[in-house]
Homo-oligomer: A and B are copies of this chain.
Amino acid sequence: MPRLVMKFGGTSVANMDRIRNVARHVARERAAGFDVAVVVSAMSGKTNELVGWCQDAAKIFDPREYDVVVSSGEQVTAGLLAMTLVGQGIPARSWLGWQIPILTTSAHGSARIDEIDGTSLVDGFSRGEVAVIAGFQGLDPETRSVTTLGRGGSDTSAVAIAAAVKADRCDIYTDVDGVYTTDPRIVPKARRLDRIAFEEMLEMASLGAKVLQVRSVELAMTHKVKTFVRSSFDDPDFPQPGTLMCDEEDIVEQPIVTGIAFARDEAQITLKRVADRPGVAAAVFMPLAEANINVDMIVQVASDDGRTTDMTFTVPGVEFERAKAILIKAQSEIAFESLHGASDVVKISAIGVGMRSHAGVAARAFRALADKGINIRAITTSEIKFSVLIDSAYTELAVRTLHSLYGLDQG
């Protein structure tokens, strides 16, 4: 029988009514002839309740125990869904991370999946059982401790399980009906995509679109898991197909730009009049790397005095203060005149595998933004995307401008 992995997030299992709705989606696919594994998140709100207790328990909480506490949320949902299915006459059993097992690294709170032995799940299929799997959790085989994969980790659980059982398809059910050309709350003319290439989805997720966890897209791409993003709020009897993540070759009419993403959680730092000498970049970025601060969008230009250089780069917004402090401390060593920072910036990106074969795609954007009076603070490009850093006040205008420019508006 063909195999299907279905994943339902927190809002899709928020209460018993929603869980019964999930059971209807499962029953439909089973009736259609699939062996089904369902991956579930915690009921929405539950993880926050558990995290709140942890924050109350200790200022700096023990990451091992954090995982013990928060992983209980998915455990509850898995048991309740299995129970609901059994109550409706559908053979089912729940699986916790340690029971399968889903082996992970020991990085509590953000563990990576190392290995999944799908044998026990497949044995369950042969008994006609639906496997209901607690998402987001795994087992550190060294310490036999419960681990968690980080927020959104249930997406990764689902794709990894799909790869482990060689599923024919993986359906990620969310509270939206697919992947859009951009956030429809910002651009009402945004269109749902029928298909998106793995590479594009990876960039979209990395650059701010919050539909899927980045790691889950990487896994889907590596293992060629045919993955749909679709809505659990559809009538289970009349489901919509959603958006398919697939290989580039499987997309017939490939547009140049597929989507516009934006990320507000960036901050800009500029070092003015840095002494321009060999090794200066290392002097700036090594201390940040040692502090585990990711640096993005680096721009280096000659200063107005012609002898020194100005360096601009971005860091995650949450690391802004820490990054500034580290650089100020190293000021004499790096030898810069002054530091300027801004956290009211936004990174706007256009993504599309079609850029590979078209020149001047980014240049058109720079022109269009300039025409609207939007100043570009930094630019980065890669083979299939470019990003610009601008003042956050222009976010909506810039996203809408690029969305129209590349012909993504619907209707």
A residues in contact (CB < 8 Å) with B: 16, 19, 50, 53-54, 56-62, 64-69, 71-73, 75-76, 78-80, 82-84, 86-88, 93-94, 96, 98-99, 144, 146
Contact = CB atoms under 8 A, between A and B. Distances in A.
Contact of A61 (B62, B72, B83): B83
A79 B86 CA distance: 30
B87 A68 contact: no
A65 B86 contact: yes
A170 B66 CA distance: 28
Given A79-B68, A83-B66, A57 B96 contact: no
Closest 7 CB pairs of A and B: A58-B87, A68-B79, A69-B79, A65-B83, A72-B72, A62-B86, A16-B56
A62 B76 contact: no
B76 A53 contact: yes
A133 to B, nearest CB: 12
Contact of A83 (B62, B78, B80): B62
Contacts of A87: 57-62
A86 B58 CA distance: 8
A20 B53 CA distance: 12
A82 B16 CA distance: 31
A146 B79 CA distance: 11
A68 B54 contact: no
A60 B82 CA distance: 13
B53 A65 contact: no
Max chain B C-beta neighbours (<10 A), residue from A73, A79, A96, A146:
A79
Contact of A54 (B57, B72, B78, B83): B83
Contacts of A57: 16, 19, 80, 83-84, 87
A404 to B, nearest CB: 48
Contacts of A64: 93-94
12 contacts: A16-B53, A16-B56, A16-B57, A54-B79, A58-B87, A58-B88, A62-B82, A64-B93, A68-B78, A71-B75, A75-B75, A99-B144
Given A19-B57, A87-B59, A80 B96 contact: no
A65 B88 CA distance: 14
A78 B69 CA distance: 8
A65 B79 CA distance: 5
Contact of A82 (B68, B72, B93, B99): B68
A57 B56 CA distance: 32
Given A65-B86, A68-B82, 8 more contacts: A50-B76, A57-B80, A57-B87, A58-B88, A61-B83, A65-B79, A65-B82, A68-B94
A64 B68 CA distance: 21
